[in-house]
Structure 1
C-alpha cells in the first residue's frame, strides 16, 4: 500500500471536532447535547447580507479578481478607516476565510524548518497551518492565574533564534478571550523591530471587546508597517461563518505581492460570498451594539455560574466569546468523552472542548476546557448545572 506523507501524518487532529462521533452517538440514543465546544454564533446574519445574494441578477457566476473585487476591497479599506486603521485597497487580499489568509501568510514569510512564536493556549488550527507550511511552532506559556495576559516580553526574546521568522497573536484571543492592551501591542512591536521579525495578528474578533475596553490593531502602531500582517474574517463579526470570506492586510508590498502568487493558484475567492460580505459592511452600528450587549450578558452569567462550582477556576474574558475553565479532573479529554458516552442529566449532557489541544507544550491544559458562550442564557445556565453535577458524579 502506498504510504501517506510525513506531513500528512503529522497534521494534528482538531481538538474541537474529534469528539463529534461521540456526540452523534449520544444524539442517536435520544440525548440532548448542549454544544459548548464550537464558536458558531447563534446570532442572526445581517439581513442586508442575505438579501444581497437573494436579490442579485447575476446571469454568469464568473471568477472574481484573484485578490477580490476592487469594490469590496475599497469598502474594506473604508471599514478599517473607521477603526483608525489607514490602509488602501492595494494593501488587502480577499481570501477564502481567515484560515486561507493565515495559510498564505505563513507561506509568504517562512520556509520549511523556520519557527513562529505563539503565546499559548492558541487557536488549535495554527498548529495545522504551521505544519502544512513546514513551520515549527515555538510556544510561550500564558497563565490562567494572569487571565492569560501577554507573557513577559523576556519570555518571547528567550525563544528567538536564527530560524525565528514571526510572532503570531490572536487579539482578542481564541480560546482565552483575552484582549491585548495597547501597551502589550507596543511591547511586541518593539520586539519585532529589534529582531527584524514579522508580527502576525489574527484580529477576527476585533468588534468583540467588553468592559469599556477598545481593540488596538497592530496596523495602528507606527513604525512596524513592513513587519505587520493582519488576518481578518467576516465569520464572527457578521455571524457569517459559512461565507468563508476573510482577508490578509499588510502595508508591506512584498508581502502582498507574494501572497498574491499563492492566491493566484486558487484562482479567486467565491463570488456570491463576496457579494454578501460587501453588503454586510453596511450593517448598522445598532446591530453590533445589540450583539455586544448580548455577549456581555452571556459572559457574565457563564462566569458567575462557573465560579459557584467547587474547585473550578475560570479566566474572565475581555473579548471574543470563549473562556478557559480549569476543572478538578486529571484528564479533560477523558472527562469530555465520558460526558457524551456515559452521563446525562434528565436526558441532556454537554459537549466541551478539551484545552490540551490548544497548547503546543506537552502536558499543559490537561485539566482545562474551552467553553464558547454562543448559546442563549437559559441554555448556558442549564449547561453549567449539568457540568457541576457531572463533576460530582465523575469524582465519585
Structure 2
C-alpha cells in the first residue's frame, strides 16, 4: 500500500509540475526519435537487400568453370548435402542447343537447360515428368508466341563423318518461366532429353526416340563437364566455394555481392551503436541531473514526506517514479513520431513492393521501451541519492 501511495503522490506532483515534466519528456524524445529512425533505416535497408538477394536464385548459384569432369554419383552426393538446395548434372554446352519452330513463326535457337524437382528457377511451375515435356523462358515463349499447353517442333542437327543430319521431335510446353527467372532464350527439360541430344550429336544411338547410331555400351559411364547447383541459403555460398576450392574445382559465385551486404550491415551496426552510445550517455547524464535538480527543488516536499513517516527508500521511489513516468511518455511519443517518419521514408525511397527503407519489428519497440526504462531507473537512482540526506527537521521548520 505504501508503494501505491508513493506512486499516487509522485503522479499528482508530476501532473502539477507539467511544464517541467513536458520538458523532460521532449528532451528524451529528441534523443529517441533519431535513434529509432537510424536503426529503422539500418534494419529496413539491410533487410530489404538481404531479402532481395535471397529471392534471386542467381545469387545462390554456383557455376563450375574450366574443363572439369563429374559423374552422376558426384552430382548426387552434392545434391544430398544439407547446404545444397538443388543440383543436377549438365551436358556439354555446345551440344545443349535446339531449334524450336512454330507454324507461321521463324525458327528460334534456344539453350537447353536441365531441370528437376526443386529447381529454384521454376518456383510453382510444374516439373517435366516426361521426356518430351518442356518449359520455356519468357523471351523464347514471347518470340514463338506459345503458351502452356502448346506443342512445338524441336530440331536437332549434327555433322557426323562429314555428313549433316537432323532429327525432329514434338515437345509439349507445360509452363513459361517469368522474365526475372531467366532472361535468355531457354528450354528447360529433363536431364534425359539433354543426354539424348548429346548422344545424337556424338553419333550414338538414342533408344528413347528410335534414332540409330553407335552403341554406347553398358560399361561406359557418362561424364558431365558441369552441373547446375544452388546453395540453400546465402550463408552457404562461401562454404561451398571453399569446399570446391579444396577439391581443385574452380567455381564462380556471388559471394562478393553477399559479402558487400554483410559489410554494409556491420558498418551500419557500428555507426548505430556509436551514435546510440553517445546519445544515451547524454540522456543518462540529463536524467541524473534532472533527478538531482528535482531533489533540490522539492527538498521541502520530500522533507515533509519524511516527517509524516516515509523512509529514504520511499523518497527515492518518489524521484524514480517521476523519471519513469517521463520515460514511458517519451517512448510512446517517440514511437508515434517514428511511425510517421517511417511511412514518409518508405513512400519516398521504396522502389519494389514488399520492401522497406525503414522498418522496426514489435520486438524492437519492446527492447527500446525496456532499455529506456532501465536507463531512466538507473539514472534516477544515481541522481536521487541525495534524498538520503533529507531529514525531518527541515520539514518541521518549513511547516
Q: Shorter-chain TM-score category?
A: under 0.3
- TM-score, length-scaled by structure 2: 0.21
Computing the radius of gyration from Cα coordinates, the structure with the larger value is 2
Compute the TM-score of the two structures, normalised by the length of structure 1: 0.21
